[in-house]
Amino acid sequence: MKIATLIIRTMLGLLFLYTSISYFFHLNPEPVSTGEFKAFQVGLIASTYLIPLAKITELLCGIAFVSGKYVTLANLVILPVSLNILLINYFLTPENLPLGIFAFAGNIFLIVSHWKNYKGLFIMNEPKI
């Protein structure tokens, strides 16, 4: 289980690092968008802050996954981003669905493998007066 966790964590970290660094440094040419995804992408670009915010989140969580530091926090922070990746790929670009499934399932796998660290979030303590 430890080896699987290490492999998934590293692969997710490298994926998030690659996508965020290539966004900021324009390493890959922008793929041509068509149909509903183009309309969605135009809306995101018009908002001017959503894509850079998501890419900064991916960069910080990718660093956390690769370094092995703050993985518990990074799992929770990247969860909405990985869910968004899955849903966008499912509804708008089904040809990229395996990437979305890997990002979301890998994130869920890491949460389950670090579940002992999250148990404290679900304990209701009585207020002390």
- Residue 62: pLDDT band by 50, 70, 90 thresholds? very high
What Cα–Cα distance (Å) separates residue 92 from each residue in 3, 10, 30, 74, 122?
Answer: 34, 27, 17, 26, 35
- Residue 45: pLDDT band by 50, 70, 90 thresholds? confident
Residue 68: CA count within 13 A, CB half-sphere? 4
Residue 94 is given by DSSP the state: G
Q: Does position 129 have pLDDT exceeding 80, yes or no?
A: no
Which tops the pLDDT comparison, 22 or 46? Answer: 22
pTM: 0.86
- Residue 44: pLDDT band by 50, 70, 90 thresholds? confident
Which tops the pLDDT comparison, 64 or 36? Answer: 64
- Residue 48: pLDDT band by 50, 70, 90 thresholds? confident
Q: Does position 35 have pLDDT exceeding 90, yes or no?
A: no
Nearest to 70 by CA among 14, 15, 13: 13
- Assess contact for 109 and 8: CB atoms under 8 A: yes
Tens digits of residue pLDDT in 76-119: 999 999 999 999 999 998 999 999 999 999 999 999 999 999 98
